[in-house]
Amino acid sequence: MNAPAPSLSSLWARTETRLALFGLSGVASAYVGFLGLSVAHAEAVVKRGGYYVMLAAFALFLHALWRLHRSGAPGADPPLTRRQRVLALAAIAVFSLLAIASDRFQSKILFDEFVLQSTAFNMHFFRDVATMVRGYDIQGVFLSTDNYLDKRPYFYPFVVSLVHDFTGYRPLNAYLLNAALMPVSLGLVFALGRRLAGWAGGMLAVLLLGSLPLLGQNATGSGMELLNVVMILAVILLGAGYLRRPDEDTLAPLLLGSVLLAQARYESALYVGPAALVAGLGWWRSRRIILPWQAELLPWLLVPVALQNKVLSNSPILWELTEQANTRFSLSYVAGNLRGAYGFFFNTSEEMANSLLLSVLAPVAILWALWRLARAGRRLVQGDPARISFAAFGLAIIANTLLVFCYYWSSFSDAMAARFSLPLCLLLVFLIVMLAAELDRRWPATRILVLATVLFAAGVSTARFAGHHYSHIGIDEIEWQRRFVDARPGPRLVITNRSTLPWLVEKTPSILIDRARLVADRLQHQLRDSNFREILVTQSLPPTTVDGDYQVLPAERLPGFHLELLAERRFGSKLVRISRLISIDDSVLPSPKAPPPKVRAIMQ
Amino acid sequence: MDGFFMTIFGFFRADRRMTLLVLNGIAALVLGFFTFTPDQSLNAVIHGGYWAMLILTVLFGWSLLRLARKSFSGWSAWRSAPRWPLVLILVCGLVLLVHEAYGFKILMDEVMLLGTSMSMHFQKVALVPMRANDIQGAFQIVAGQLDKRPLFQPFLVSLIHDLTGYRPENVFVLNTVLTFVLLALAFRLGNRIAGRLAGAAGVLLLTGLPLLAQNATGGGFEILNLVMILSTVLLGMRFARDRDGDSLQAFALSGILLAQTRYESVLFLLPVAALILWVWWADQRPVLSWMFVFAPLYLLPYALHNKVFSLRQSSWEMASQPGYDKPFALSYIPDNFQHALNFFFNTTGEQSNSIVLSVLGFLTLPFFLLWAANVLREGRAATPVRVATAIFGFGFLAHTVLMMVYFWGKFDDPVIRRLSLPLNLWLALSIVVVVGELGRGRRWPWQALLVAAVGGLFAYSLPNMARHDYSMVYYPGRETQWRRDFIAAHPERDYLVIDNSSITWITHLVSSTPVRQALEHKENIVFNFRNHSFTAIYVFQNFVVDDATGREVINAADDLGPDYQLETVEERRFAYPTIARISRVVSVRDGPVTMPRPAPSPIDKLSPDQLEKVRQEYFAKFIQQLP
């Protein structure tokens, strides 16, 4: 007599089955992600389906967190006293307030942040992972008429689009999200610091990171850095929780968190590695293979990452290479980037968003960490779960930093690239916290450092936050143009010399000056047809002699276009001008195409 | 005498930290007055002033926390306490705040304080910004100067800037909060002296003082000064009662911060020292704490900062009051006394006084002094509250005497009225103490006082506060508000203003330069004008209308000369015969500077002496110009 066929549930209960399914799922998804689709198909799949995959990953992550919450925190830290809780909350509140109040809600990195906002726009309105190139108000609806799949990971735009979904579309939502993420990130910093070095360690970590202007700068921007920081911290904490109590409920949020983290910034895909390592360590520590059902879906959730990377690798125009660089990654960039890193960390002027205290303490902490790692050896994997998780992700942060150093545009002393140092700063902060905790056995090192950091924050960081000289890289002129244009009655078309994105996210149609030259006939038609109340042109005029003598940049001239000057303002050393298009000479119109054949001719 | 020395020696034997205290005192004297040149001293204050204030404020806050932790008797005690004092304080605070618009009332004091807070916020240095511009998108302070005013108030304002972002209005937030704190402290003091009714009387008497309302809605340091005086008195009472290290250090730090709130408040260190010595004498042992041992060194910033007066004679502002050659003299007393009488007893509403406070205060003041002398004669038998009140009474007396010997101590002058605030506070204190002594368990004197205070508030103070003639008559304050309105109407702040009150614009993040600079460095204005560095260049000028001819004569200090062509944008008349005008620069002539030539005075307005002086000057030039 044959044995009864095993039921599906009993099959599922068997570890080998789940492992086999996971392997199959991995192979199939790898094929789809890397081999199975052409670049054009890959772009189409991510554009049309990326949103839904992200939605699924996010929903699964929230569900896993909910289950973790219901199953109880893995292990319990000693409870905080009322005084400790009040002080920690006060520190988080003060540094969040400091960051949010000291700068305006405006873009810090041009035009990255507008690209992200534009992607969020399309995700909200059309569920497309796409960035607008052109957009027009057609019968009352602002439609994205031309768009492309951008290179940037889209977890942040996805979260912004969720905020739009729940509160209505407004570009401000992107800033409010980051402002809200600031206390969340400091809260997680406290939680991790506390796990690594007790309450005082948590406080020190909050103070060190809260007084870092680079972190605070992002609280009033619309970039993806803060979400990346939040996800790194969350995943390290989830890793620590999993190692403390390895089971399905603790592993699922770790794995799903790492999937989302991989889509928070380009290089954050690296953190999938330590997440897998921590998962394996958990198996080893619990002497069993733990594979929650969500793990089967993981490879598929990562497919859009692979497809997007495929599109990026085959679209050199997205690489934004300069004339000096002809490849994105090269060891030849390392020396220059190292000099840039030194220039950033040890700069004493107010131009950099650095923290000298962190920079001075960090080398000592790094040396100590290397010495400890060398001594710990094999014992490390049996040690404190929080420290193991931190060490695993710390190694990924180091790999992240090395990767960044090989990138052609990663000099931390460049205000546009300084933000790439944030994960490294995180690592340094916690190394200092752990070193201080070690020294506490002999001296009150943490207390002294807390006091020193408070004084440093009050005396140095507050001034950096107040001046925020590192935040004025081109955005002021865009904000001025937007204020000026907003104050005029619409509808209008803006012919811009910079980027159309800042206008499009505000639902103002915009084209570049280059395109304006090409479509002069259409513009002339618009002038006659009055679809727009006015057509505005923005241009910049750099000084051409030591005495000024400003002239319009050749690339921004519009020969044959008659303009009326409306406003002019200096930004740094250049002038920015807003004019109104009055008329276009017929001589600059493109030559007319052959007239369409007459109906009678067709009939014949 | 032997007994005195034995007591002193006994102190040193009882606590060896006494030696350290004395050594610190000597070190503070040497470092503060003899070691550094005036330039070095000012540099130390510029770069270390912020840090000194930060450390002192943290220490003061910490010592207050220690006291609070000791005396906190649980929330149930708070819940069972009567609520009406809180309501009274809130209502009275609102009364003080609602009648006048917030603004910078006293020039240049309030704007200078704001300027210092701005530099403390942006650069952590104690400088008033003199030159500042939008250079690369950020408004950067290019040059500044150490102001003579103490640093505690600008420091507190800079803390608000730090936490909420820079905006000039933050100083109004501080003064609003401090107004409620002041009333709460006044209630507390009255309560300590003679019970809750006395506290209520103190609050109502202060609420009836329009001068307080004027300053509560201003940008000055007067309210903070009053808060620190009351805080010091209350902490003094606590120290006299508890006689421990924690109370001592809170009391001493309050006095030290008070000394760094207003120039003359350093006088209150005398009663602080006297009360400490009285406690030691009463206890026959020195009460010390480690923090207090270093207290003399905490006064170093004050000593170093004070050298600004020796380095810059102009700091005394003697030029503003012609005919004076010394800042302090006994000969000023009769004149100042008359002005004080005019301030306290003027009933026209042009003075921001409180008639009830003045009449009752000056009636009770002699009795208060007699009472204070008696209390001090009681020696160790006197209660802590009475001793502290009596000793600080003499502190108030010293302050008043100093004001009377000050060359500009005219309390009826719109700029100087605020210096009478401590005296007004003393009057309120006198009334409460004397009525308390009269009352001794009876309620009717308090009821009568409350009726008088409320009656005075409704019959005299409230209508005066509503009209606030005393604020309107000082037109530079309204001119400042007009500047602020102009800034609000031009929010881009991308223009340059040529104005002798350039600091007002700079503190509002608008590029500005004084007229003299625009004249002496015309080439810079020409360069910026030609290159459109600023969207527009405006000029703020004052004119006086000649009543004989009706001609507008420009204030000589505001005259840009013939090289600047101006077009009037706005014009306001704040007080006859002055006109304030904001113009736009239409063109600036290139080439050598043509300095403005003042219009000649009509000959019938020149005295014979002036005519002779002019003749002599002309003759000297005539000789020089001979070919």
CB contact under 8 A, B54 and A459: yes
Q: How far is A110 from chain B (nearest CA, A)?
A: 15
DSSP secondary structure letter of residue B455: H
Q: How far is B80 from chain A (nearest CA, A)?
A: 24
For A462, which residue in chain B has the nearest alpha carbon?
B162
CB contact under 8 A, B534 and A462: no
CB contact under 8 A, B51 and A459: yes
Q: Quick check: A467 and B132 in contact, CB under 8 A?
A: no
pLDDT of residue A598: 52
CB contact under 8 A, A459 and B531: no
**Chain A residues touching B167 at Cβ < 8 A:** none
Write the pLDDT tens digit of every residue in B567-586.
999 999 988 888 999 999 99
Q: What is the mean pLDDT of residues A374-392?
A: 83
pLDDT of residue A372: 86
Write the pLDDT tens digit of every residue in B522-568.
999 999 999 889 999 999 999 998 888 888 899 999 999 999 999 99
**Chain B residues touching A455 at Cβ < 8 A:** 54
Confirm or reject contact between B163 and chain A (CB < 8 A). Answer: yes
Which residues 6+ apart lie within 8 Å of B582 measured at CB?
B486, B538, B539, B540, B568, B569, B570, B571
Regions of chain B with pLDDT less than 50: none
Nearest to A124 by CA among A89, A158, A151, A74: A158
Q: Measure CB to CB from residue A466 to each of B122, B137, B532 and give the nearest one.
A: B122
Confirm or reject contact between B161 and chain A (CB < 8 A). Answer: yes
What residues pair up with A126 in beta bridges, in sequence order? none
Q: Measure CB to CB from residue A466 to each of B166, B531, B535 and give the nearest one.
A: B166
pLDDT of residue A76: 66
For A93, which residue in chain B has the nearest alpha carbon?
B163
What does each C-alpha distance from B364 to B327, B426, B432 come to in angstroms?
A: 31, 11, 9
Confirm or reject contact between B164 and chain A (CB < 8 A). Answer: yes
**Chain B residues touching A103 at Cβ < 8 A:** 165
pLDDT of residue B617: 78
pLDDT of residue B71: 81
Q: Quick check: A98 and A216 in contact, CB under 8 A?
A: yes
Burial of A222 (0-12, 13-18, 19+ CB in 10 A): buried
Distance from C-alpha of A252 to C-alpha of B557, rounded to nearest angstrom: 76
Q: What is the mean pLDDT of residues A257-281?
A: 95
Q: Quick check: A434 and A441 in contact, CB under 8 A?
A: no
Q: Quick check: B400 and B265 in contact, CB under 8 A?
A: no
Distance from C-alpha of A255 to C-alpha of A250, rounded to nearest angstrom: 9
**Chain A residues touching B51 at Cβ < 8 A:** 459
Q: How far is B310 from chain A (nearest CA, A)?
A: 29
CB contact under 8 A, A472 and B527: no
Q: Quick check: A268 and A262 in contact, CB under 8 A?
A: yes
Tokens of B353: 């006084």
Q: Is the pLDDT reported for residue A318 higher than 80?
A: no
Q: Quick check: B106 and B218 in contact, CB under 8 A?
A: yes
Cα B153 to its chain centre, rounded Å, is 9
CB contact under 8 A, A462 and B162: yes
Q: Quick check: A234 and A181 in contact, CB under 8 A?
A: no
**Which pairing describes strands A131-138 and A141-148: parallel, antiparallel, or unpaired?**
antiparallel
* Tokens 């988080």 -> residue: A92
CB contact under 8 A, B163 and A101: yes
Q: What is the mean pLDDT of residues A499-522?
A: 94
pTM: 0.89
* Tokens 């920015």 -> residue: A576
pLDDT of residue A409: 85
Distance from C-alpha of A376 to C-alpha of A381, rounded to nearest angstrom: 9
Q: SS3 for B573? A: strand
- Preferred mutation among A570, A571, A578 to probe B, highest tally of B CBs within 10 A: A570
Distance from C-alpha of A557 to C-alpha of A307, rounded to nearest angstrom: 40
Write the pLDDT tens digit of every residue in A427-468.
999 999 999 999 999 999 999 999 999 999 999 999 999 988
Q: Measure CB to CB from residue A467 to each of B138, B494, B527 and give the nearest one.
A: B138
Distance from C-alpha of B164 to C-alpha of B5, rounded to nearest angstrom: 55
pLDDT of residue A4: 67
User: Taking an 8 Å Cβ-Cβ cutoff, which residues of chain A contact chain B?
Assistant: 94, 97-98, 101-103, 455, 458-460, 462-463, 465-469, 472, 475-476, 480, 483, 543, 547-548, 550, 567-572, 575
Write the pLDDT tens digit of every residue in A516-567.
999 999 999 999 877 899 999 999 999 888 888 889 999 999 999 999 999 9
Q: Is the pLDDT reported for residue A257 higher than 80?
A: yes
Greater confidence (A153 vs B577) lies with A153
**Chain A residues touching B74 at Cβ < 8 A:** none
CB contact under 8 A, A569 and B535: yes
SS3 content of chain B, % helix, strand, coil (to 5): 65, 10, 25
CB contact under 8 A, A466 and B136: no
Q: pLDDT exceeding 70 applies to what percent of chain A?
A: 95
Confirm or reject contact between B124 and chain A (CB < 8 A). Answer: yes
The sign of the dihedral angle between the CA atoms of B399, B403, B405, B411 is negative
Q: What is the mean pLDDT of residues A486-509?
A: 93
Q: How far is A85 from chain B (nearest CA, A)?
A: 17
Q: Measure CB to CB from residue A98 to each of B124, B163, B531 and give the nearest one.
A: B163
pLDDT of residue A601: 44
| Low-confidence winner among A129-143, A241-255, B231-245 (lowest mean pLDDT) | A129-143
For B535, which residue in chain A has the nearest alpha carbon?
A569
Rg (CA), chain B: 27
Write the pLDDT tens digit of every residue in A207-222.
999 999 999 999 999 9
pLDDT of residue B608: 73
pLDDT of residue A313: 87
Interface size A-B, in CB pairs within 8 Å, comes to 77
**Chain B residues touching A568 at Cβ < 8 A:** 532, 535
For B523, which residue in chain A has the nearest alpha carbon?
A547
Provide the 10 A C-beta neighbour count for residue B21.
19
pLDDT of residue A12: 76
Q: Measure CB to CB from residue A101 to each of B136, B140, B164 and give the nearest one.
A: B164
Distance from C-alpha of B30 to C-alpha of B25, rounded to nearest angstrom: 9
CB contact under 8 A, B136 and A102: no
CB contact under 8 A, A570 and B533: yes
- Preferred mutation among A462, A541, A574 to probe B, highest tally of B CBs within 10 A: A462
Nearest to B104 by CA among B464, B478, B420, B574: B478
Q: Quick check: A155 and A227 in contact, CB under 8 A?
A: yes
* Tokens 């005082």 -> residue: A200
Nearest to B155 by CA among A538, A1, A462: A462
Distance from C-alpha of A311 to C-alpha of A42, rounded to nearest angstrom: 7
Write the pLDDT tens digit of every residue in B471-526.
888 888 999 999 999 999 999 999 999 999 999 999 999 999 999 999 999 999 99
- Preferred mutation among B136, B141, B525 to probe A, highest tally of A CBs within 10 A: B136
Distance from C-alpha of B484 to C-alpha of B168, rounded to nearest angstrom: 10
Its ipTM equals 0.85
**Chain B residues touching A483 at Cβ < 8 A:** 492
pLDDT of residue A327: 79
Q: Quick check: B544 and B503 in contact, CB under 8 A?
A: no
CB contact under 8 A, A547 and B531: yes
Q: At B482, which amino acid appears?
A: W
Q: At A208, which amino acid appears?
A: L
pLDDT of residue A59: 97
**Chain B residues touching A480 at Cβ < 8 A:** 492, 494
Distance from C-alpha of A578 to C-alpha of A580, rounded to nearest angstrom: 7
pLDDT of residue B177: 98
**Chain B residues touching A571 at Cβ < 8 A:** 137
| Average model confidence (pLDDT) across chain A | 91
pLDDT of residue A604: 37
Torsion of Cα atoms, A497 then A498 then A504 then A510, to 10°: 10
Q: Measure CB to CB from residue A466 to each of B162, B527, B533 and give the nearest one.
A: B162
CB contact under 8 A, B121 and A463: yes
Torsion of Cα atoms, A159 then A163 then A164 then A170, to 10°: -100
| Low-confidence winner among A132-136, A303-307, B493-497, B593-597 (lowest mean pLDDT) | B593-597
Q: What is the mean pLDDT of residues A6-28?
A: 85
Confirm or reject contact between B495 and chain A (CB < 8 A). Answer: no
pLDDT of residue A324: 67
CB contact under 8 A, A570 and B166: no
**Which pairing describes strands A574-584 and A534-541: parallel, antiparallel, or unpaired?**
antiparallel
CB contact under 8 A, A547 and B51: no
What does each C-alpha distance from A388 to A242, A373, B348 come to in angstroms?
A: 11, 11, 80
Q: How far is B485 from chain A (nearest CA, A)?
A: 20
CB contact under 8 A, B535 and A550: no
Which residues 6+ apart lie within 8 Å of A248 measured at CB?
A290, A291, A292, A293
What does each C-alpha distance from B52 to A5, B24, B65, B162 come to in angstroms?
A: 83, 17, 20, 17
